[in-house]
Structure 1
Amino acid sequence: MASLLSWFRAPAEREKRIDLPSVQIHDIHSAKDKLPRTLKHLLKANHHDHSIIYHDLQFDNHLPHILCSAYLLGADAAHLNHLYEVESKELEPWKESPGEISEDDWRDFLGKKEYQRAYVQFFGDVQSSYNYGYDWKKVVERFMFQGDQPLVNGLIGGLGHPLIHLGYAYEFNNREVGMEALSLACCQYNFLHKYLDDATYTKPAPFSSTSPRELLDKLADDKRLDGLFQEPGFANIEPLFEKHESIVLEYWNAWSLNNPVEQFRESQEAAVALLVSTVAPGTHAYNFFVCHILTTSHAVRVLLPLIPAKFHLSLVRQWWLLVLAVYVAELRPKIDPDYVDTNLGGKGWAYVEDKALNSDSACDAHYVKGEYDPIIIMGTRANAYQQYEQ
């Protein structure tokens, strides 16, 4: 009965906003100091020279992610230039698309990565038009949040890279990254959007919880998914929905957002736990795909205070759908708090920052992002979550 009553409350609940203060916005567009100007010029150079998807349209350009994360972690201009030089070596120049894109047909090419150049050019032209006057946020508002199937509901395509990119665009008020985010959202648009666009997929679940961790623990023990895949990996996501959509949607609908601010806070803690508490002591085998759960969570945190309120809960639920998909695709690794060594030996967040900038992995975009995001998510709660500081 309680589940049924929760369902009847759902329409009103979806209108709830998640009231959070904005993260600090680093307005590098108008900055005059050397460091932010260096970042701005490097982002512009990447936008001009390198495609956003490369290696047979399989890999994403992470250069904006590592540059922005390193900047936030205290990198100087020389380090940013070094990161650009190293990371850009494996990137590829733009290739012309099969055709152009216009205002009339831009949705006709959704999901077609070979049109990445055409999308970037299209959104750039729109931004420079008289109606928009180089205001990239107006372009995002027009193409991301309007229509019967708004593009915002497809941000978890491509393992959440469009979502991550959009978060950095707003956090640094950068129009080049903003237009790239729109283009990524178009190119990596896939079937996952339908679960947000079609209200019939949201329905009462046979169980419920306000705790993402509790639901993940339950999912880890769900015998219906035993032996589903032989090897972990991104390629498992689409077959998962083809074969066991109903199970995924059970867990998706089971997360109760009665107190959205509190539940979102718990979701961010769960994102950190998924990264650090699924790795056995001494292995340091941190998972590339699980890292995206954390980095997309930070992107959601950036965006919530800045986007229309009617998309707040749907964006958080979209992230939750990605979590479930990645967790099962990665063969449901055990989340064990005992994996985390609580003997820190006096190490704190300064140690984390130093490792992100000066370790052997300092040029690995996922490593640097994975170091920065826990600082923001957990760092302000050092007393309660000190165990994660390693």
Structure 2
Amino acid sequence: MSGLLHPFIQLGYGLEFKCEALIACALAQASTHRKQFSRALDTETFDEIRAGDLDGGNGLSLLDIMELMRIDPITDKITYDDDPYTEENRALSQTLAIKYAKLWSVGNSESSVREKSIEVMSVIALVYGSLTRPGYRPVLEFGVMHNLTSSYFLPILLDALPLHKKVRLLHAYAFTFIYIFATKGCPPLHIPPELTLADTHRAESAESSSSGNPWMEVIDKAIANNDMHVAKVVRALWRLSLLTAFPTQPNASKGYELPPYINCLYLARITVDSINMSTRRDSVTDKLQLTAQDGRRNWAHGMVAYDEFWAKYGQAL
């Protein structure tokens, strides 16, 4: 995924801060990386994936698609490994993602692009916060985390494109999430009650006073954190909280299941309170190592759908 989401993030930074050098670096990085999705994103296959867009259909919701993926026979062939990205698992996950990305569609209108982008961002946040099995300390998964941090830039990149390219980009972005979800074994969601509770404080606009705004404490903790991913997660959650804080959220059409309201502040707090990693150089091997600070934890790197993962890496409460 590094050749896809990292350039996406870097390109987003370049557009956000109007830095042409960053934009050039992002495009160069994307051009020189190993092709991980040459099958899925070639013209012919991607046109098949986007057939629903071109037909103008609403397709299935991402939540419905995830449920179908869990019971698909292809998922049964994805086997547990400490490295979720074995060649066999990559191939099976890509096959699964191609199959189900075809069932999701984006209409050829600005309103559809907006509604579907909020759906994608909300589902990613929901999955990010719902992978921990009951009775265990919170697990925040590294691959899904990159989907979340990159989602901050989705509105920025969409705003820079004409409508037909917005539709293509959004569908390709949804595909990457479906693929990452597949590589984890299509895990069931364990939604903590706090995740869907209304955030009574909401996110404040830039012009509002920050006094009493709980986001400020979370942002301060994120900036002070040794792991730079944490600040990017909090930024993405803050943006999502703004996009869903006002009465312009998409309305579910009949039979189309949208994700529940996401308490982004809760997820941001869980992140800053759970993750704190520092890079150090090992005196024996002379290699860089990641070390947990203050009794906190690293990101989970694994196939969280499987009992083997929890037996080896889970920390019971």
Q: Same fold (TM over 0.5)?
A: yes
What amino acid is the match of 2:68?
A: K
Instruction: Find 1:188's aligned residue among 33, 38, 62.
Output: 33
Paired with 2:151 and 2:262, the residues of 1 have a C-alpha distance of: 20
Q: Which amino acid aligns with 1:275?
A: Y
> 1:211 maps to which residue?
61
TM-score of the superposed pair, with normalisation by structure 2? 0.63
Q: Percent identity?
A: 19
Distance 1:335 1:170, change over 3 A: same
Deviation of 1:301 (Å): 1.6
Distance 1:314 1:360, change over 3 A: closer
- 1:387 and 2:241 aligned: no
| 3-state SS of 2:159 partner | coil
Report the Cα distance in structure 1 between the residues aligned to 2:144 and 2:265, rounded to whole angstroms: 18
Taking the aligned partners of 1:254 and 1:344, their CA distance within structure 2 comes to 31
Matched, 1:323 2:181: no
Please, which moves more after superposition, 300-309 or 334-343? 334-343
Any residues of structure 2 matched to 1:154-233 within 5 Å, and which?
A: 158-203=3-48, 209-226=59-76, 228-231=78-81, 233=83
Task: Tell me the amino acid that sits aligned with residue 263 of structure 1.
Answer: K
In structure 2, do the counterparts of structure 1 residues 341 and 266 end up closer, same or farther at CA, with 3 Å as the change threshold? closer
Amino acid at match of 2:22: V
Deviation digits for residues 14-62 of structure 1 (CA, Å, limit 9, x no counterpart): xxxxxxxxxxxxxxxxxxxxxxxxxxxxxxxxxxxxxxxxxxxxxxxxx
Q: Could you tell me how far apart the structure 2 residues matched to 1:254 and 1:265 are?
A: 18
For 1:307 and 1:324, locate their aligned partners in 2 and report how far apart those are by CA, in whole Å: 23
Determine which of 260, 278, 281 is the counterpart of 2:113: 260
Partner of 1:354: 217
CA distance in 2, matches of 1:376, 1:318: 21
* TM-score between the two structures when normalised by the length of structure 1: 0.52
1:233 positional shift: 4.7
After the TM superposition, which segments of 4 or more aligned residues of structure 1 sit over 6 Å from their partners?
A: 204-208, 343-347
Contact preservation (8 Å) 2:40, 2:94: no
Residues 172 and 246 of structure 1, relative CA distance in 2, 3 Å threshold:
same
**Given the alignment, which residue of 148, 158, 162 partners 1:304?**
158
Secondary structure of 2:31's counterpart equals helix
Q: SS of the residue aligned with 2:137?
A: coil
**Partner deviation per Cα, 1:255-283 (whole Å, 9 max, x = no partner):** 12233332222111111111112234662
Query: Is 2:195–2:262's contact at 8 Å kept on the other side of the alignment?
Result: no
- How far residue 182 of structure 1 moved from its aligned partner, in angstroms, is 1.6
Q: Is the 8 A contact 1:278 1:333 kept in 2?
A: yes
Contact 1:220 1:332 (8 Å CA) reproduced: yes
CA contact (8 A) 1:279 1:339 kept: no
Which runs of 5 or more residues in structure 1 are unaligned?
1-155
Structure 1: how far apart are the matches of 2:168 and 2:200?
40
Asked if 2 retains the 8 angstrom alpha-carbon contact of 1:232 and 1:330, the reply is no
Equivalence for 2:123? 270
Matched-pair contact (CA < 8 Å) for 1:275–1:290: yes
Alpha-carbon deviation of 1:368? Answer: 1.2
Distance in 2, matches of 1:318 and 1:280, equals 30
Q: Is the 2:202–2:245 Cα contact (8 Å) retained in structure 1?
A: no
How many correspondences in the alignment? Answer: 234
Amino acid at match of 2:137: T
Structure 1 residue 174: Cα displacement: 1.4
Mark the CA change 1:179 to 1:378 in structure 2 (over 3 Å): closer, same or farther.
same
Given that residues 11 and 23 in structure 2 are in contact (C-alpha distance below 8 angstroms), is that contact kept between their aligned partners in structure 1?
yes
Q: State the distance in 1 between where 2:193 and 2:133 align.
A: 5
Structure 2 residues without counterparts, runs of 5 or longer:
204-212, 247-259, 267-317
Aligned-partner Cα distance in 1 for 2:104–2:199:
37
> Alpha carbons of 1:345 and 1:216: their partners in 2 closer, same or farther (altered >3 Å)?
closer
Asked if the contact 1:291/1:370 (under 8 Å) is kept, the reply is yes
Aligned-partner Cα distance in 2 for 1:201–1:381: 30
For 2:202 and 2:163, how far apart are their aligned partners in 1?
A: 36
Does the 8 A contact of 1:234 with 1:329 survive in 2?
yes
Whether the 8 Å contact between 2:129 and 2:140 is mirrored in structure 1 is yes
Counterpart among 309, 313, 338 of residue 167 in structure 2: 313
RMSD (CA atoms)? 3.3
Q: AA paired with 1:202? A: D
Cα offset, 1:291, TM superposition: 0.7
